[in-house]
């Protein structure tokens, strides 16, 4: 549920299959080592897909489910959480390109009376997280209810109400602060403009045209049989399966399900101009500086400067599900990591080292 980083601690899990590379070659060993280390540290399953522009390597480790013990497959689906924001922003920018909404439009223009002070907040500020609104996912009352009954379905306006029960954290445009409320509102605006449910908009405008058959905006917990389950691990070492938790906890901010190949295909289409015209793509890639991340946040996408070069994309966290999706600016090089089970993501952690390994291999560099 958190932003770019989720912090948790995992310990040893025995009896899970070791990593298997779907395409063998130089560099696969390092990827396998990274994933196997995560599994030894308590992760139930993990998969990484790296495309360096010349060939694709997919490596998986662990099991898709502790109950079935089925080994993780490289084409298994997964909850990609806040990577959803790139999809939602793409839909919004398509509507902008069609002249149906403007980035300068106020929230009040499309959702009258829903957000106090909505006349001073623009669509752009929702998409680049400068609205100044409170993040509903930080509301302790809402969290207590959501965790007490994680299968409960939430309407988008209920999430907004939890946020607007708090005063804004800043004036609109005054500062950048990652905030799931922004994308819940963006989803509502897209639905109001297009007069269609957001899940249908994503299907009609993105996943259908790109033939992303394993990607969808989930409106209930149902997933296919080839899905990687996510887990929370207690300090006592007990695992709680979060796969049946309602995706409506995140909705337009993070309810999508996808696969590594589909995520890579989406970003390649996005960054190459297949989904947006150049004017709207430039708007998306116009960023607000985020100093603590050594990068900048655009409209549903961000860049960071890594030791192996600048990458674009997004990360996503839903309890027990963690996704990193990075590309070069052209979209021809890509790396997607999916990790089930909450893990330590701080600098120097096993997770962080795995991300570094995949990014450098994607960029054709050693680290």
Four-CA torsion 31, 32, 38, 43, nearest 10 degrees: 120
Q: Are 320 and 105 in contact (CB under 8 A)?
A: no
What are the DSSP E strand ranges found in the chain? 20-21, 45-51, 56-62, 78-81, 216-217, 231-233, 239-241, 256-258, 288-290, 295-297, 302-306, 309-318, 321-327, 334-340
52, two tokens:
């360096």
The catalytic residue among 34, 82, 89, 131 is: 82
Task: Kindly give, in sequence order, each residue whose CB lies less than 8 Å from that of residue 79, ignoring residues fewer than 6 positions away.
Answer: 218, 230, 243, 247, 255, 256, 257, 316, 318, 321, 323
| CA dihedral for 238, 243, 245, 248, sign (positive or negative) | positive
CA-to-CA dists, residue 346 to 5, 202, 351, angstroms: 8, 33, 8
Partners of 239 in beta bridges: 233
**Class of residue 157 by CB neighbours under 10 A (exposed 0-12, middle 13-18, buried 19+):** middle
Q: Are 129 and 297 in contact (CB under 8 A)?
A: yes
**Greatest CA span in the chain, whole angstroms?**
58
The answer to whether residue 82 is catalytic is yes
Q: How far apart are CA 61 and CA 37, in angstroms?
A: 9
Four-CA torsion 181, 156, 281, 125, nearest 10 degrees: -30
Q: How far apart are CA 51 and CA 58, in angstroms?
A: 9
Q: How far apart are CA 65 and CA 20, in angstroms?
A: 17
Give the residue from 302, 279, 313 showing the smallest Cα distance to 93: 279
Partners of 324 in beta bridges: 315, 337
Known catalytic residues? 82
């Amino acid at each position: 549920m958190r932003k770019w980083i989720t912090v948790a601690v995992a310990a040893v899990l025995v009896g899970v299959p070791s990593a298997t590379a779907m395409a063998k070659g130089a560099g696969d060993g390092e990827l396998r080592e990274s994933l196997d280390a995560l599994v030894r540290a308590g992760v139930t399953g993990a998969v990484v897909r790296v495309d360096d522009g010349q060939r694709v390597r997919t490596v998986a480790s662990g099991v898709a489910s502790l109950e079935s013990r089925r080994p993780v497959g490289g084409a298994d689906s997964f909850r990609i959480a806040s990577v959803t924001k790139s999809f939602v922003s793409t839909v919004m920018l398509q509507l902008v390109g069609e002249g149906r909404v403007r980035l300068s439009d106020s929230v009040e223009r499309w959702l009258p009376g829903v957000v106090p002070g909505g006349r001073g907040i623009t669509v752009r500020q929702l998409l680049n997280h400068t609205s100044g609104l409170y993040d509903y996912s930080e509301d302790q009352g809402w969290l207590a209810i959501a965790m007490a009954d994680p299968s409960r379905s939430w309407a988008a306006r209920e999430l907004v109400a939890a946020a607007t029960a708090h005063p804004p954290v800043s004036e609109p445009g005054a500062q950048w602060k990652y905030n799931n409320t922004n994308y819940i509102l963006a989803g509502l605006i897209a639905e109001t403009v297009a007069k269609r449910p957001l899940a249908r908009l994503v299907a009609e405008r993105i996943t259908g045209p790109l033939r992303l058959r394993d990607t969808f905006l989930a409106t209930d917990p149902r997933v296919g049989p080839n899905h990687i389950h996510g887990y929370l691990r207690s300090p006592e070492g007990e695992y709680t399966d979060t796969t049946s938790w309602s995706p409506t906890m995140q909705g337009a901010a993070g309810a999508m399900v996808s696969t590594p190949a589909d995520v890579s295909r989406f970003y390649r289409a996005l960054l190459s101009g297949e989904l947006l015209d150049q004017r709207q793509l430039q708007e998306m890639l116009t960023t607000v500086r985020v100093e603590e991340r050594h990068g900048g946040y655009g409209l549903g996408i961000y860049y960071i400067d890594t030791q192996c070069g600048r990458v674009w994309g997004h990360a996503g966290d839903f309890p027990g599900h963690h996704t990193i999706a990075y590309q070069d600016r052209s979209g021809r090089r890509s790396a997607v990591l999916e990790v089930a089970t909450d893990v330590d993501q701080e600098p120097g952690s096993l997770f962080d080292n795995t991300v570094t390994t995949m990014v450098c291999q994607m960029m054709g560099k050693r680290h």
